Amino acid sequence: MTIIEKIQEKTIRKWMSKLFEKENNVSNIDGALKPNADSPSRYELMTEASKYGERTGFGIKIAPMMVSILRNEFKTVNTLKKNPEKPRTEISNEELQKLEQFARKKGAGLIGFTKISERIVFKNKGVLHPNAIVLGFEMEKDKIDTAPSLKCQVEVMRTYDKLGIISNKIANYLRKKGFSAHAGHPLMGAALYPPMAQQAGLAWLGYSGIIISPEFGPRFRLTAVYTSIENLPFSEKNEHSWIKDYCDSCRKCIEECPGSAILDEAIHHPNGQITHIANTKCMPRFINDFGCSICIKVCPFNNVDYYKLKESFLKK
């Protein structure tokens, strides 16, 4: 890492510290959904990274995107003061249709709805509402297939950046319609996104801890917008649970992981949280090898059509 890159990373860490402070204050807002005793702690990637070496690929291509990402992360908390004092709580079918059209026009590839509980809110964080609009954004396959590489890392960061922008735009759109909104951001965030996507019926958690959807396989990132809208079409079913059985029989991600970081048997915690990855084994490769992403690259759902895999697997 060059001197300039070290200065860039040091500056970003300083901004992160200020951001964490602002995020923690959200739980003090009246009516905010707060974590409970079973809530997980957020793994702070930026602060943990320094334990495992000097970040590869952080230079001229990544740093500008990190600046944009941080700008939009600050926006998720700084714009909460723009919410209406007496927000609307119901949306018409026509308005919902227009909201989805707006989200897709801005680039959202997946849209779903779910109610969340305190259990998935990170400790010391908070979200304004339990009603979540779950959003997914695709990472381009030709770039992910180069993993581990700078090209792949740039694509991952591009996705984080674009989805963070989309999330804030949707929150702003909702406020203009009279609703209260709290944009999440795909990099970090105040709550666990994979359970939201699963509850919303969009996808299912794969063996590597990566969420898998029919549209994009494991090749997408998630965020959410929390809103005062109480009559969203919350999903009550998920048709993708067969993925768990497929993953149990496949285990390709375990075999291909260069750090042997994917657990042979996932750990099921009493609070319902599931641990798939040993961070102490994953992080050295993640930090020193362009964010790795080999588990995404080798996943059959990245390389074979979802429905073909399903048909073949269920026939057995």
Side-chain-side CA neighbours of residue 101 (13 Å): 6
**b/e per residue 214-247 (b: at least 16 CB within 10 A):** bebbbbbbbbbbbbbbeebeebeeeebeebeebb
Say how far apart CA 296 and CA 261 lie, in whole Å: 14
State pLDDT tens for residues 64-74: 888 899 999 99
Q: Report the amino acid identity of residue 203.
A: A
Count Cβ atoms below 10 Å from residue 150 Cβ, excluding itself.
15
pTM of the entire predicted model: 0.93
The residue among 265, 274, 262 whose CA lies nearest residue 119 is: 274
Say how far apart CA 227 and CA 87 lie, in whole Å: 9
Say how far apart CA 181 and CA 9 lie, in whole Å: 31
Averaged pLDDT score across all residues of the chain? 91
For residue 46, pLDDT over 90 is answered with no
**Of 46-55, 152-161, 188-197, which range is least confident?**
46-55
Beta carbons of 224 and 137 less than 8 angstroms apart: no
DSSP string, 22-79: HHHHGGGSTTPBPP-TTPPPP--HHHHGGGG-PPTT-TTTTHHHHHHHHHHHHHHHHG
- Please list the residues that pair with 226 across neighbouring strands: 132, 182
Helix H segments across the chain? Answer: 3-25, 45-48, 63-78, 93-106, 141-144, 150-176, 193-199, 242-250, 252-256, 279-288, 294-298, 300-303, 306-315
State pLDDT tens for residues 135-159: 999 999 999 999 999 999 999 999 9
Q: Where are the domains of the chain?
A: 3-315
Say how far apart CA 121 and CA 264 lie, in whole Å: 27
For residue 167, pLDDT over 60 is answered with yes
> Would you say how long the chain is, in residues?
316
Q: What percent of the chain has pLDDT over 90?
A: 77
- The pLDDT-based confidence of 56 (bands split at 50, 70, 90) is low
The residue among 295, 271, 276, 107 whose CA lies nearest residue 186 is: 107
